[in-house]
Structure 1
Amino acid sequence: MKYITLCIVLLFLSSCKTETENLLTNKEDYNKYLASGPSKTTSKYFELWNSKIKPDSSQLMSFGIVGGEYNRYFQNTGDIQYLKKAEQVLAKAVSIAAIGKAGYYRALARNYISQHRFREAAQLADSARTINSGVDQTLGLLFDVNMELGNYDKAESYLDSLKNMNDFGYLIRLAKWNDHKGDLATTIRFMEKAKEKAEDSKNTGLRLWSYTNLADYYGHAGRIEDSYRHYLKALELDPGNAYAKKGIAWIVFSYEKKAEEAMRILDSVTKNYKAPDYYLLKAEIADFIGDDLKSLSNFDTYFKQVQNPAYGDMYNAYNVSLYLDRTDQFDKALRLSRKEVGNRPTPESYSLLAYSHLKKGDKEKALEIVQEHIEGKTFEPGILLYAAEIYKATGQIEKAEALKTELVGAVYELGPSSEENILNL
């Protein structure tokens, strides 16, 4: 009896130790940032330049400044109306500019990238390239848009033409390219160099971008504490930064399994930040804790928000995943995934198309798409999980097992709910 009691005590202590080892966040680190109010969406500076714009205005500088401010408001609030307003004023600037036109082409192209209008962005980038102004900035844009379109050979050629190890823009793109190739250690090394450049520049925007992106990469590499510290560094600069708060919520949820605390963090974000995908994460957390009512409420909020036609194709990939994994609307998933492949022929889009065919019962078509468009072309765990399920369904057991071994180490990135799916491969 004493032996049994001792075993139970030791088991309990071992369990407590494991749970403690998985705790690295502290409410006191981030609570002060959760109370931040709504971001300002006007200023004397904005009002001054906006007042200069009339229906027949040719105040070119006003359009550029006001467009930039609208874009900043979109980043701070997640409200799609500001991105669309930025598009309007930048399109007007493109139409009237005689001097500095390449810069307006680039600005409008970046706006279109944010809207997932990648082919239109590519056309604008090509237009900017015909003007011999800001050549390196245009080459960087061409790299970005070709990565989004899955034109990886083209993207690499633009990256090669930019080579400058002292340039922040080159370093972040070099990091992205190595991430695409699956070389995470090199990705992080270049991103750390970019962070140093950003800190030397004292540019708040570049520092924020560096901290949040490096935090993401650290998370992918399993360096969770480094990831957490960099999200906190971002919040020190910008207490309202929704992306950094979402990153901390993910650590709390996926690594520490403290679902209620993660939900508390996200609830504070969605009071003022309007991006629909935050509600999908809240629904995932609610599912994890078995709160069906909260899960349905958050899914409902998401679907209501993405009905806004201003979003266009921005949430196609999210919607396909929901049709496949949650609502079993496989016909809708197939139609929308075909459209997404047309918009953005990347391994991610093809994985959605392949999985849609699998769910529709066309296993051989699903396998054909995986073999042609995914095998050896991506290292993203979400894509590989779909591929593994297709391999298993089509009798490619060795390939499924190989991916299963790889995916076991990606549970943090994919989320706690993925663990059962991976183990069942």
Structure 2
Amino acid sequence: MKYLFLFVPLLFLFSCQNTEQSQVTNQKDYDKFLVSSPSRTTSKYYELWNSKIKPDSMQLTSFGIVAGEYNRYFQNTGDITYLKKAEQALVKAVEIAAIGKAGYQRDLARNYISQHRFREALQLAEAARLWGSGIEDTQSLLFDIHMELGNYPKAEKYLDSIKNMSQFGYLIRAAKWNDHKGDLDTTIRFMEMAKQKAEDSKNTGLMLWSYTNIADYYGHAGKIKDSYDYYLKSLQLDPNSAYAKKGIAWIVYSHENNPKEALRILDSVTKDYSAPDYYLLKSEIAAYQNNKLKSLSNLDKYYVAVQNPAYGDMYNVYNASLYLENTGQYEKAFKIAEKEVQNRPTPHSYDLLAYSYLKIGEKDKAMEVVEKHIDGKTFEPNILYHTAEIYKANGKMSKVNELKKELAGAAYELGPDMANKISKL
């Protein structure tokens, strides 16, 4: 799903053989979830603890609890204001904490991960480690950060340090690690074990996280019916889950080739949920319908939304992709790509750089980036497609043909608009 994953860090896989061809969705299953009201952004619990915060307040517990509530509001609404408010509360908590400082540093680091401020998150995690408390939590956090930064040997080291097959936290990270390696079968096995742990604990938050993520993985594996079922399970736990509705919309669009219904689902989401990337997906689907006006309208809504300086670097990848694939502003994309490589030298960042080089006519430099930083290091279909384009521009048709075979199995993840492009490689 081209625009599905921003806040949840899952890489695409290309292993989508044996995708079911039958209709799997039914409007009767999910229609009741499309009539939803705006998420509440206050509660008696929040008001109680927020009331304890005064100018120059030293109410440490209040700052931590209020930050948690702000983070929940952000997850429910997509409104960046709440994530920034959570940051402010956690900064104050870190500042005044004498006991338990490491926990607040970890919480602030996770907030920074959501904001794509990964190097600041790393500094906080390293500071938390020095306190010697919550060692396993810090090691888990360091795994997460090093994965985001592309420091894969360090990430593997931290994963090994927390190995415990009975722990939910280890299982989900082991799934992510195998996802990175391209081992989808093992990824799903770990995720199924994590899901069972979540269900045994009866922790709604962990169950919801498990269901949406295993739905993603099942989609990658071509198990579309299973994917759909778990998105529905997610909605039964949280009827307002924008992420689950988006997952169903992608199935309707990419698997069932029903863009009209997919847009109906997404329109219901964007009434009350404000993450900008949803407009990019709506624009893509409208373009597939040849509805240029609606496509441009949604691109405009996206562009207006991301002008908010609070987003910082969160939408750099989306912006660069927009410049490369929609607006032809290649130099702008190139500058963003250079910045992303400096911030987080992952295959995804290098893909932006290589594709930018290709678009500005530097095919040799594009090829150099592919060979040094991308080839054999990622299995994400969109990156593989860009790589195939770069190989083609450099006359390496045997490489192109190899990638075309892999991309043929990734039609569901890339979306129906890509099929024609792949055939022309």
Quickly name the TM-score band, shorter chain normalised: over 0.9
Q: Which amino acid aligns with 1:297?
A: S
Counterpart residue number, 1:249:
249
Looking at structure 1, the residues matched to 58 and 309 of structure 2 have their Cα atoms a distance apart, in angstroms, of: 29
Q: Which runs of 5+ in 2 are unaligned?
A: 1-19
Structure 1 length as normaliser, TM-score?
Answer: 0.95
Q: Deviations over 1:105-133 (max 9, x none)?
A: 00000000000000000110101111111
Tell me the secondary structure at the aligned position of residue 222 of structure 2: coil
Looking at structure 1, the residues matched to 264 and 182 of structure 2 have their Cα atoms a distance apart, in angstroms, of: 34
- How far apart are residue 22 of structure 1 and its match? 2.9
Counterpart residue number, 1:412:
412
Alignment of 1:309-348 (within 5 A): 309-348=309-348
Counterpart residue number, 1:172:
172
Looking at structure 1, the residues matched to 391 and 420 of structure 2 have their Cα atoms a distance apart, in angstroms, of: 17
Alignment of 1:144-293 (within 5 A): 144-293=144-293
- How far apart are residue 413 of structure 1 and its match? 0.3
Looking at structure 1, the residues matched to 124 and 416 of structure 2 have their Cα atoms a distance apart, in angstroms, of: 41
Tell me the secondary structure at the aligned position of residue 326 of structure 1: helix
My pick for the range that moved more, 394-403 or 160-169, is 394-403
Looking at structure 1, the residues matched to 218 and 81 of structure 2 have their Cα atoms a distance apart, in angstroms, of: 33
Counterpart residue number, 1:377:
377
Tell me the secondary structure at the aligned position of residue 166 of structure 1: coil
Task: Tell me if structure 1 keeps the 8 A contact 2:224–2:251.
Answer: yes
Counterpart residue number, 1:117:
117
Q: Which has the higher contact order (CA 8 A, sep 6+)?
A: 2
- How far apart are residue 396 of structure 1 and its match? 1.3
Looking at structure 1, the residues matched to 144 and 163 of structure 2 have their Cα atoms a distance apart, in angstroms, of: 15
Counterpart residue number, 2:14:
none
- How far apart are residue 186 of structure 1 and its match? 0.3
Tell me the secondary structure at the aligned position of residue 130 of structure 1: helix
Looking at structure 2, the residues matched to 202 and 28 of structure 1 have their Cα atoms a distance apart, in angstroms, of: 27
Looking at structure 2, the residues matched to 343 and 42 of structure 1 have their Cα atoms a distance apart, in angstroms, of: 35
Paired residues in the alignment total 406
Looking at structure 2, the residues matched to 333 and 281 of structure 1 have their Cα atoms a distance apart, in angstroms, of: 19
Tell me the secondary structure at the aligned position of residue 417 of structure 1: helix
- How far apart are residue 376 of structure 1 and its match? 1.2
Q: Which amino acid aligns with 1:380?
A: E
Alignment of 1:69-148 (within 5 A): 69-148=69-148
Q: Which amino acid aligns with 2:216?
A: D
Looking at structure 2, the residues matched to 122 and 416 of structure 1 have their Cα atoms a distance apart, in angstroms, of: 39
My pick for the range that moved more, 125-134 or 300-309, is 125-134
Looking at structure 2, the residues matched to 380 and 97 of structure 1 have their Cα atoms a distance apart, in angstroms, of: 42
- How far apart are residue 21 of structure 1 and its match? 4.9
Q: Deviations over 1:294-331 (max 9, x none)?
A: 10110000000000000000000001011011100011
Structure 2 length as normaliser, TM-score?
Answer: 0.95
Q: Deviations over 1:397-422 (max 9, x none)?
A: 11111111000110100111111111
Rg comparison, structure with higher value: 1
Counterpart residue number, 2:7:
none
Looking at structure 2, the residues matched to 202 and 169 of structure 1 have their Cα atoms a distance apart, in angstroms, of: 15
Looking at structure 1, the residues matched to 49 and 370 of structure 2 have their Cα atoms a distance apart, in angstroms, of: 51
Q: Deviations over 1:5-45 (max 9, x none)?
A: xxxxxxxxxxxxxxx95311000000000001100000000
Counterpart residue number, 1:6:
none
Tell me the secondary structure at the aligned position of residue 63 of structure 1: helix
Looking at structure 2, the residues matched to 420 and 113 of structure 1 have their Cα atoms a distance apart, in angstroms, of: 36
Looking at structure 2, the residues matched to 420 and 333 of structure 1 have their Cα atoms a distance apart, in angstroms, of: 24
Aligned CA distance change for structure 1 residues 53 and 38 (closer, same or farther; 3 Å):
same
Looking at structure 2, the residues matched to 260 and 378 of structure 1 have their Cα atoms a distance apart, in angstroms, of: 33
Looking at structure 2, the residues matched to 26 and 231 of structure 1 have their Cα atoms a distance apart, in angstroms, of: 13
Aligned CA distance change for structure 1 residues 380 and 21 (closer, same or farther; 3 Å):
closer
Counterpart residue number, 2:392:
392
Task: Tell me if structure 1 keeps the 8 A contact 2:147–2:155.
Answer: yes
Task: Tell me if structure 1 keeps the 8 A contact 2:21–2:255.
Answer: no
Q: Which amino acid aligns with 1:245?
A: K
Looking at structure 2, the residues matched to 258 and 297 of structure 1 have their Cα atoms a distance apart, in angstroms, of: 20
Tell me the secondary structure at the aligned position of residue 375 of structure 2: coil
Q: Which amino acid aligns with 2:381?
A: P
Q: Deviations over 1:349-378 (max 9, x none)?
A: 000000000000000000000011101111
Counterpart residue number, 1:29:
29
Q: Which runs of 5+ in 1 are unaligned?
A: 1-19
Counterpart residue number, 2:12:
none
Counterpart residue number, 2:4:
none
